[in-house]
């Protein structure tokens, strides 16, 4: 099925460990995003990639890095995990806004990360 | 800045109506609405664009008041399947073409009971 695929679905890390969350989309979208979701906080933007070869910080980028590997793939890396990074992480993609038309986001199923 | 949603939670009986509001302190170009069921990803419901155009694929209606920088989602004759958390996402003003980033509200939890 077409869509956004995230791996892994669940992960437990110890404080200080590193890991990379993977995201791939097969809809040929230009833009990709990483959000985190915490109880009562809604979805907050970590990083985004407007198009292949570009990345920019969102609202809460501290402690994270990203790589837009190609048009399909956008990964999120935690270099030294902290308990405050315990969250559900969602990757999303969308087509560009063009000529007065904007498109909805397609979200992946999420990665549930616990840092102990 | 994060848009403000109200109410935070609402409980309905099947067949009742509900309105969820979303307001922003910044000028808006578009407002998106998403529904998230427990343990699942948010799913796109509809977009409202400046000028009143509405794009979506479910039988749920919405309005967009540009002057007040507000949007409202209307759920009529609610069904059990409407249960979930509803998020509005607001997009900034743009010209030309390009990427846009959504800022989401904290969500409204809707529970429909038999």
What is the predicted pLDDT for the residue at A32?
A: 95
Q: Does any CB of chain B come closer than 8 Å to the CB of residue A96?
A: yes
Q: What is the mean pLDDT of residues B41-57?
A: 76
pLDDT, tens digit, for every residue of A77-99?
999 999 999 999 999 999 877 76
- Percent over 90 (pLDDT), chain B: 58
CB-CB neighbors (< 8 A) of A102 in chain B: 29-30, 32, 47, 49, 91, 100
What is the predicted pLDDT for the residue at A72?
A: 97
User: Which of B55, B100, B105 is opposite residue A97, by nearest beta carbon?
Assistant: B100
Q: Does residue A31 have a pLDDT over 90?
A: yes
Return the structure tokens found at A39. 């109880």
Return the structure tokens found at B14. 């099947």
Interface test with A, best of B87, B88, B94, B100 (most A CBs within 10 A): B100
In 3D space, the residue among A23, A28, A22 whose CA is nearest the CA of residue A2 turns out to be: A28
Residue A101, burial from CB neighbour count under 10 angstroms (0-12, 13-18, 19+):
middle
CB-CB neighbors (< 8 A) of A106 in chain B: 44
**What is the rounded distance in angstroms from the CA atom of residue B55 to the CA atom of residue A100?**
12
What is the predicted pLDDT for the residue at B94?
A: 59
Long-range contacts of A86-89 (CB under 8 A, 24+ apart): A86/A113, A86/A114, A86/A115, A87/A36, A87/A37, A87/A38, A87/A113, A88/A36, A88/A37, A88/A38, A88/A112, A88/A113, A89/A6, A89/A21, A89/A34, A89/A35, A89/A36, A89/A37, A89/A46, A89/A113
User: Which of B30, B43, B87 is opposite residue A102, by nearest beta carbon?
Assistant: B30
């Amino acid at each position: 099925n077409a869509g956004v695929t995230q791996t892994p679905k669940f992960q437990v890390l110890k404080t200080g460990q590193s890991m990379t969350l993977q995201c791939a989309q097969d809809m040929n979208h230009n833009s990709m995003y990483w959000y985190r979701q915490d109880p009562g906080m809604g979805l907050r933007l970590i990083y985004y990639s407007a198009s292949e070869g570009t990345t920019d910080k969102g609202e809460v980028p501290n402690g994270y890095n990203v790589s837009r590997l190609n048009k399909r793939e956008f990964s999120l890396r935690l270099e030294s995990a902290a308990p405050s990074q315990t969250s559900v992480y969602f990757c999303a993609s969308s087509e560009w806004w063009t000529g007065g038309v904007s498109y909805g986001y397609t979200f992946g199923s999420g990665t549930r990360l616990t840092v102990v | 800045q994060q848009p403000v949603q109200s109410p935070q939670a609402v409980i309905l009986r099947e067949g009742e109506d509900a309105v969820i509001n979303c307001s922003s302190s910044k000028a808006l170009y578009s407002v998106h609405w998403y529904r998230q069921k427990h343990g699942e990803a948010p799913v796109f419901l509809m977009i409202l664009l400046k000028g009143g155009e509405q794009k979506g694929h479910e039988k749920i209606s919405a309005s967009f008041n540009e002057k007040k920088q507000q949007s409202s989602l209307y759920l009529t004759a609610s069904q059990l399947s409407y249960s979930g958390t509803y998020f509005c996402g607001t997009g900034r003003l743009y010209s030309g073409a390009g990427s846009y980033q959504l800022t989401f509200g904290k969500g409204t939890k809707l529970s429909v009971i038999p």
